[in-house]
């Protein structure tokens, strides 16, 4: 679950007045928060009808696009930062989506639930069942999360693609977690860029 603490961590990585694109922006509350706290000019990308109405209610610029089919509307390197919050694990074409983020933006921020959290590990190792938790609240048969991964997995992914990790924050239920993050953290936030 995204909390205000996570919003604050994301905001701390964003320069004042930056041009921000929020992919899968939901009700637009992160963008609204960033425009209040950092004065960003931004757009949300969303494809859910209810979320789009909520974005309009929240005064957020929202563009209806299906992320999986690409963002041809958006020119190369036209944003300072592209955010994908709690959505990467639900993308079918993970690699393509991340590549698209770094095509349209100079930097990317992703947040995702850490599958390596110890409670998830014990549920699968000892209980023999797929983990269900506050951060992964779905049963295996109704989950939108098609690509579950851990903090270590994501770092390996960045290394393999020569992405430079610029910042990392890990939270456990809204509190920053600096000790054994892949074991004790529930939510990971990364800021990264393509290799220079």
Partner 1 sequence: MIATPQLAHFASPLPSLQLASGAVLQQYDLAYETYGTLNADKSNAVLICHALNASHHVAGVYEGRADSEGWWDSMIGPGKSVDTNQFFVIGVNNLGSCFGSTGPLSINPETGKPYGADFPLVTVEDWVDSQARLLDFLGIKTLAAVMGGSLGGMQALSWSIRYPERVRHAVVIAAAPNLSAQNIAFNEVARQAIMTDPDFHDGNYARINALPKNGLAVARMIGHITYISDDQMETKFGRGFREGKKFSFAPEFQIESYLRYQGEKFSQYYDANTYLRVTKALDYFDPAADCGGDLAKALSPAAAKFLIISFTTDWRFSPARSREMVRALLDDKKNVTYVEVDAPHGHDAFLLNNAQYHAVVKTYFAKQIAPVNITSQEAAA
- Binding flag, residue 57, partner 1 (CB under 8 A): yes
Which of 25, 30, 52, 81: binder of partner 1 (CB under 8 A)? 52
Which residues from 75-94 bind partner 1, rule CB under 8 A? 75, 78
- Binding flag, residue 36, partner 1 (CB under 8 A): no
Please state the closest distance from residue 109 (CB atom) to partner 1, in A. 19
> What is the C-alpha separation between 45 and 68, in angstroms, rounded?
11
> What is the C-alpha separation between 60 and 163, in angstroms, rounded?
30
Q: Which two tokens stand for residue 166?
A: 């610029």
Which of 3, 12, 64, 122: binder of partner 1 (CB under 8 A)? 64
- Segment lying near partner 1 (by CB under 8 A), choices 48-56, 105-113, 164-172, 183-191: 48-56
For 135-175, the three-class secondary structure string (H helix, E strand, C coil) is CCCCCCCCCCCCCCCCHHHHHHHHHHCCCEEEEEEEEECCE
Which residue, among 100, 120, 110, 141, has the nearest Cα to 186 in the 3D structure? 120
Please state the closest distance from residue 129 (CB atom) to partner 1, in A. 37
Which residue, among 91, 136, 132, 131, has the nearest Cα to 113 in the 3D structure? 136
- Binding flag, residue 61, partner 1 (CB under 8 A): yes
Burial class of residue 97, CB neighbours in 10 A (0-12, 13-18, 19+): buried
8: CB partners within 8 A, 6+ apart: none
- Binding flag, residue 62, partner 1 (CB under 8 A): yes
Please state the closest distance from residue 166 (CB atom) to partner 1, in A. 24
x/- site string to partner 1, residues 2 to 21, per CB under 8 A?
A: -----------------x--
- Segment lying near partner 1 (by CB under 8 A), choices 69-77, 108-116, 121-129, 138-146: 69-77
Catalog residues that contact partner 1 under the rule CB under 8 A. Answer: 19, 41, 43, 49, 52-53, 55-59, 61-64, 72-75, 78
């Amino acid at each position: 679950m995204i909390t205000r603490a996570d919003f604050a961590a994301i905001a701390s990585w964003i320069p004042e007045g930056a041009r921000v694109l929020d992919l899968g922006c939901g009700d637009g509350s992160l963008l609204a928060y960033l425009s209040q706290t950092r004065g960003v000019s931004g757009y949300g990308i969303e494809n859910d009808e209810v979320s789009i109405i909520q974005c309009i209610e929240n005064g957020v610029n929202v563009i209806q696009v299906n992320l999986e089919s690409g963002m041809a509307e958006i020119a190369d390197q036209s944003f300072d930062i592209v955010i994908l919050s709690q959505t990467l694990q639900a993308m079918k074409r993970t690699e393509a989506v991340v590549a698209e983020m770094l095509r349209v933006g100079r930097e990317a921020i992703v947040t995702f639930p850490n599958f390596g959290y110890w409670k998830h590990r014990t549920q699968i190792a000892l209980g023999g069942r797929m983990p269900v938790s506050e951060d992964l609240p779905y049963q295996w048969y109704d989950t939108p999360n098609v690509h579950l991964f851990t903090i270590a997995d994501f770092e390996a992914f960045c290394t393999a693609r020569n992405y430079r990790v610029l910042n990392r924050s890990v939270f456990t239920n809204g509190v920053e977690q600096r000790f054994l993050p892949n074991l004790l953290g529930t939510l990971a936030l990364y800021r990264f860029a393509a290799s220079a």
